[in-house]
Structure 1
């Protein structure tokens, strides 16, 4: 039995806490709101995020961060990308022992264009509390994980032994975990699929059908791979769980907040209206800005990302952006990537 602190008591953090609790670990679920943590401890529910789900008894809620991470071996970060740096800064002030940090967030930081593992490492440079960083990614909606429906994910780290330790920590008969040594590819695939999901939702909101969705997903995967390979990723990673798998589930499911946000934009709602109605972080919006900046910096062609950026941040009408995409100069479909 391991002691694990889950930092972030939203839907995904709670679902992963359930997985860990099912594996008989001592799970400490940290959140900011006293009312929510009281509900978790007294009623064993988290109704705002996972209605009708009963939490295992070995999940204990905390609002005190120092108490939550006391004597733990692993810290699982499940907070929005924009909160990663602040959260890690807070953690290193209260941690009294070295820990492995596993993150299950998906995004790229605008401005710095850092992946989440890079952000964590950067914030821990002057401390001795970080043993390893592991990323957990793949096609996994919290709603289905909490119902213990069959789910497969990938873990990756710079050290294979850290990946395997995380694999052992999470894996059970409902939650199958694979390892992948391509840390860059796993993080990039998980982050950029949210962009493509936004576009799939947007085209659906415009009244476009399955042909369009298939086109966006297929050419979107080409964009993700193109940028990933430029950053040093293995192109084969994008045919796996954290690439194609995550892309499929995020672009086609009613659970996908990125798809829902895109659909609302396609229906004519403004970005501000959408964010207010969603009430939750839509990672793809921030990632679109970062990926567009990075593509320009590296001279990588990402027309779908550029079109979404124009809609979100430049006031271009979604239908005009779609027509511009379809009117691009003719291309060859199959692209070559430098594998070796």
Structure 2
């Protein structure tokens, strides 16, 4: 099967690598001509020693539009609106593998796509997945969400392999929010680790952060149980605890005393949570939802408030019932 893919970054190329191994023909769009050149030479541009099979690349968007009825999106969320606005995705099956919320509108990726291309069928692929491990064919489990039961099963079969398990969900709101909100909690966990607060603190932040994710998600119509699955708890656990995580690394550097902007520049890749936290702040204010961990990250990363003062005020909050009514 032919599949178009927007985004020649680590995650996009990792998905191309996986799909190519299964015999699908992939055409990747990237605006960076050096990335396009490497992919067309069969070389993974970011992970040494990984070769690409059945994968080609282009820096012309019109090639993507004509290539396939299936379009996979693996772009930074803040770039999606501009790029898909230059395409005609009507009547196509669009699968978002991007995680985050749009700054300003606090919209999920499926909402952005449907706003621009109302007749497109939209699906979401999310869960705990580092690009380097998917590229190498290591075991991974993800969740695919969509409203069309027959079509999500077809898409599952396109991706499914012994080392790439796909579970199904009809809760696209919860699956997308889990992938977005966990990045902010991962930054908080990184800050805690950088401050040397230990593993007890990280476990507490992950658990209370998950509660925060559920609180926001349920308020906008997501199913509570979705956040206890792969796209919520699974992705949060991976992103908040691994040194491979850009969001956790970003927070860790801040905890060690690096100013947020300098940390962002030194990482040199997209730190989606640094953008998402702005949208989460706006969304939680709009919903009047209590989200103290996300708010603390916002104060540190966006407003530049003193790190130790923000952390101290977070720790001194009066404890509530663990399972408060939402």
User: Corresponding residue for 1:316?
Assistant: 305
CA positional deviation for 1:170:
0.7
- The alignment of Structure 1 onto Structure 2 pairs a total of residues equal to 326
Distance of 2:221 and 2:80 partners within structure 1 = 23
User: Corresponding residue for 1:287?
Assistant: 276
Distance of 1:187 and 1:137 partners within structure 2 = 7
Given that 2:27 and 2:67 are in contact with CA atoms closer than 8 Å, whether structure 1 keeps it comes out as no
User: Corresponding residue for 2:127?
Assistant: 138
Given that 1:134 and 1:166 are in contact with CA atoms closer than 8 Å, whether structure 2 keeps it comes out as no
CA positional deviation for 1:183:
0.8
Which stretch shows the higher mean deviation, 211-220 or 106-115?
A: 106-115
CA positional deviation for 1:51:
2.1
CA positional deviation for 1:15:
0.6
Distance of 2:310 and 2:148 partners within structure 1 = 42
Distance of 1:160 and 1:120 partners within structure 2 = 20
Given that 2:4 and 2:67 are in contact with CA atoms closer than 8 Å, whether structure 1 keeps it comes out as no
CA positional deviation for 1:71:
3.6
User: Corresponding residue for 1:123?
Assistant: 116
Given that 1:206 and 1:267 are in contact with CA atoms closer than 8 Å, whether structure 2 keeps it comes out as yes
CA positional deviation for 1:311:
0.6
Q: Deviations over 1:278-309 (max 9, x none)?
A: 11111101111111111111110000011111
CA positional deviation for 1:243:
0.6
Q: TM-score, normalised by structure 2?
A: 0.97
Gaps (5+ residues) in structure 2? none
Distance of 1:66 and 1:315 partners within structure 2 = 42
The ranges of structure 1 where at least 4 consecutive aligned residues each deviate by more than 3 angstroms after the TM superposition are none
Q: TM-score, normalised by structure 1?
A: 0.93
User: Corresponding residue for 2:80?
Assistant: 84
The yes-or-no answer on 1:22 pairing with 2:34 is: no
Equivalent positions of 1:203-214 (< 5 A) are: 203-214=192-203
Cα RMSD of the aligned pairs, angstroms, is 1.3
CA positional deviation for 1:246:
0.3
The yes-or-no answer on 1:160 pairing with 2:149 is: yes
Residue 247 of structure 2 is aligned with which of 244, 250, 258? 258
SS in 2 for 1:90: coil
User: Corresponding residue for 1:62?
Assistant: 58
The yes-or-no answer on 1:45 pairing with 2:43 is: yes
Distance of 1:26 and 1:315 partners within structure 2 = 46
Given that 1:134 and 1:162 are in contact with CA atoms closer than 8 Å, whether structure 2 keeps it comes out as no
Given that 1:202 and 1:318 are in contact with CA atoms closer than 8 Å, whether structure 2 keeps it comes out as no
Given that 2:78 and 2:103 are in contact with CA atoms closer than 8 Å, whether structure 1 keeps it comes out as no
Q: Deviations over 1:141-187 (max 9, x none)?
A: 00111111100000111222232222111111110001111111001
